[in-house]
Chains A and B, each alone.
Chain A
Amino acid sequence: MSAQIEEAAADAAPGIGKGGAPPPRGGKGRVSQGVPYLLILPAAAATVLLLGWTLVKNGMLSFQNLNPRQLIQHVTEWNGVDNYTEALGSSDFWSVTGRSVVFTAANVVLIMVVGCLIGLLLARLGNKMRLLLLLGIVLAWAMPVVAATTVFQWLFAQRFGVVNYLLDTLGWHSMADYNWTSGQFSTFFVITVLIVWQSVPFVAINLYAATTTIPKELYEAASLDGAGPWKQFTSVTFPFLKPFFLATTFLEVIWVFKSFTQVFAINEGGPDRLTETLPVYAFVEGMGNQHFGMGAAISILTIVILLALTAYYLRLVLKQEEDEL
């Protein structure tokens, strides 16, 4: 079978067009139409079997009244769309959703801007400095989430926190005993610092890795044309990495929107549930309160909202897929 793949791939090669030119259909070299399917089969099968099945199961749970009693006694109590009407009918759900969207937008913008700047800086640094900076951001990336959230809680602690100590030492004495988790905005500030700190390494390293795939000739040509750094970025780097930017932004939207541990650990959604985002809400209602059917319904709604949020990108990327081949 594998030998077949091999041959088929070799056969298909001449048919692969460049740039916008689609490969000729049905011509010589399209002998094995099955090759791409064989190649994607493992990925498709794994996703459909495991994720698909789990999603279907989850979908079924969302129409059930499933609490510890039903789970333990293995009884299925269908309750129609009750979970959905209850979730959608509560004002909490909508304010949480709105808050999540704003929170996600702010974080993603910050992550992308800071991450790209650091990525470009990495490309520009000498070997030693690059290694130093890479080391720093990989350290941040490698730090276990449990440890990271704990350390950030300490850094921003009211009484024994390093941040307050530093601010006080630097002369801002009113911050000596500042309670970061007392207000909605300041709590979000701490959460944002944590999330940006954790997410930037991914963007920066990826961007740096991606820039190394840009042929140097392009920059040389650009600098011969007298392009400054900004012009080089807009005329070479950005167009070349556009798919990368789209993909990364898309990913960060999903990840930030779904981030749970950080938001929950810093202040458990407090004060007064004012920093609950959708995943925290889903967890509190579903897992925490062991109201599993409700949790399933909220998770389905989360997917729908994510789809809506990313619809623009999905379309753009799909359209671009057409242009590419």
Chain B
Amino acid sequence: MKRSFLGRAWPGAAAVVLFVVFAFPVYWMFATAFKANKDIVSDTPTWFPTSPTLEHFSKAVDADGFWTLVGNSLTVTLVAVALSLVIALLASFAVARMRFKGRKSFILVMMMAQMAPWEVMVIAYYMIVRDAEMLNSLPPLIAIYTVMVLPFTVLTLRGYVAAVPKELEESAMVDGCTRTQAFIKVIFPLLAPGLMATSLFGFITVWNEFPMVLILNKDPASQTLPLWLTSFRTTFGDDWGATMAASSLFAVPILILFVILQRKAVGGLTSGAVKG
């Protein structure tokens, strides 16, 4: 059954159109970051930064305590994501592969945990942390962020664990692998896309979190980058160039993470277990 040219070309064409639609606002952010001030708001849109400038970037990076914020953000995000991944992997394995009393209740709790409206519960958590004399430090943030992304991570990973055909694992064990080896060699690579998706999700969620840190950590030494992002909208006008430069820099770790993860995860998968 041969397809027409149109039939073969449309997925590619659709991909290009969709790429433009999804990437345009992001492009606009990057482009604005390079535009001279007079081009940022203009009657006819300035599609390209005709006289590109790095002024906004240097202003963004020169902000007070920038590197402290970077350090804090990285610490909080990496620790929270790693913690939630490990905790979730254990739990998801139990939930997906074992039967025990309370399993359903556990799943139910995880599902309901996702409904917590954190923005409005900030005050409750604030009062707990305040009364524990732990304001202006990172551990309370790490703890709450871990719990914020945990339910999602558990439930998603569970799906991936469950989706691995048991036959694969069994046949590996028939081939002489121990259960752990079977897990490492067979299941783990198959879980890679799941780990990619959940860690990206966790990273983006924690990396962006704003309302908690705003109120919990008022000491600049313990703040994180989202506060820096909004700091260029000042009394003396909103410095959109710097805001967009900061936002562009802010998005970079997520993009790097994606590039790393997508090679490892998707690449490992196609060359890995399924075919072999």
Contact = CB atoms under 8 A, between A and B. Distances in A.
User: Are A and B close enough to touch in the complex, i.e. CB under 8 Å?
Assistant: yes
Interface of A: 6, 9-10, 12-13, 16, 18, 22-23, 33, 35-37, 39-40, 42-44, 46-47, 50-51, 53-55, 57-58, 61, 66, 71, 118, 121, 124-126, 129-130, 132-148, 150-152, 154-155, 159-160, 162, 165, 197, 200-202, 205-206, 209-210, 212-213, 215-216, 240, 243-244, 247, 250-251, 254, 258, 260, 279, 282-283, 286-287, 292, 295-296, 298-299, 302-303, 306-307, 310, 314, 317-318, 321-322, 324-325
A123 B3 CA distance: 18
A307 B112 contact: yes
Interface in B31-48: 32, 41-45
B37 to A, nearest CB: 14
Q: Decide if the interface of chain A is mainly helix, strand, loop or mixed.
A: helix
Given A133-B15, A138-B258, A201-B22, A143 B98 contact: no
B106 A151 contact: no
A54 B99 CA distance: 30
A147 B91 contact: no
Interface residues of B, number: 107
Given A18-B166, A50-B143, A147 B247 contact: yes
A279 B117 CA distance: 8
Nearest to B88: A43
B125 interface: yes
A303 B117 contact: yes
Nearest to A120: B11
Interface stretch (B50-58, B64-72, B190-198): B190-198
Given A258-B117, A318-B107, A146 B193 contact: no
A33 B100 contact: yes
A43 B115 contact: no
Contact of B117 (A154, A299, A325): A299
Interface string B114-146: 111101111111011000000000000001101
Contacts of A244: 159
Q: Decide if the interface of chain B is mainly helix, strand, loop or mixed.
A: helix
A55 B112 CA distance: 12
Contacts of A287: 119-120, 122-123
B204 A209 contact: no
B216 interface: no
B175 to A, nearest CB: 15
A310 to B, nearest CB: 8
B82 interface: no
A254 B112 CA distance: 10
B26 A129 contact: no
17 contacts: A33-B100, A36-B100, A39-B91, A51-B113, A58-B121, A136-B19, A142-B255, A150-B243, A151-B32, A151-B244, A197-B21, A212-B270, A215-B274, A247-B155, A302-B115, A302-B117, A314-B111
B147 interface: yes
A71 B215 CA distance: 14
A54 B91 contact: no
Contacts of B269: 212
B171 interface: no
Contacts of A9: 179-180
Output the residue of B100, B164, B274 with the most chain A CB within 10 A. Answer: B100
Contacts of A130: 15
Contact of B119 (A150, A197, A279): A279
B222 interface: no
B15 A125 contact: yes
B221 interface: no
Contact of B120 (A146, A254, A298): A298
B273 to A, nearest CB: 10
Contacts of B150: 43, 46-47
B184 interface: no
Given A154-B28, A296-B123, A303-B116, A321 B201 contact: no
B18 interface: yes
A165 B152 contact: no
Given A37-B100, A141-B254, A209-B196, 16 more contacts: A10-B178, A36-B95, A36-B100, A39-B91, A53-B128, A132-B19, A133-B19, A136-B20, A138-B255, A146-B210, A146-B230, A147-B250, A212-B270, A292-B123, A306-B115, A317-B107
